[in-house]
Structure 1
């Protein structure tokens, strides 16, 4: 199921965004996006230990392949796009093995 994008809602949020504080200024005060908000919207799990890897820029492609089994074609600056993650990892099989989910699952 794909959610419809509400253009008027997006416009209202853009108008209330304050980049200097990374918050939305609403009538009742400042509001920020939390990790829980991101998890709810993206469906990503937020519990457990963080996966942090210090990788030199020239090794990003090999590291993605090692950790994810795939690498995005448009990898730049160490940024992996959510759309790419969703495309490749949105539909895991029931009860996936640790080989599929990775050792940090």
Structure 2
């Protein structure tokens, strides 16, 4: 009789991950009415756990308004060693001092993002 063993591809592809090695990835809500008030919540959240990244995912703002929001939200995260990504805007991510940009499938992809930031 032949015995067959099912091997998970996942168990061989990467080492086991413990709960202690997992880090948090925060995403802002799509709308923040008062960045100066909301930043208090952000700071408390950043201080409460091991956060690796903050994705600023604000929707429907003019470039200047978005840049002002980033200027409020980015510094507390970066002071704590948290990478800050701006959603869908490689041009503004570079201009506002973010650590990177999140681009989705509909956002032009890697080549367009790379070209926008140089």
Same fold (TM over 0.5): no
TM-score, length basis structure 1: 0.21
Structure richer in helix, relative to its length: 2
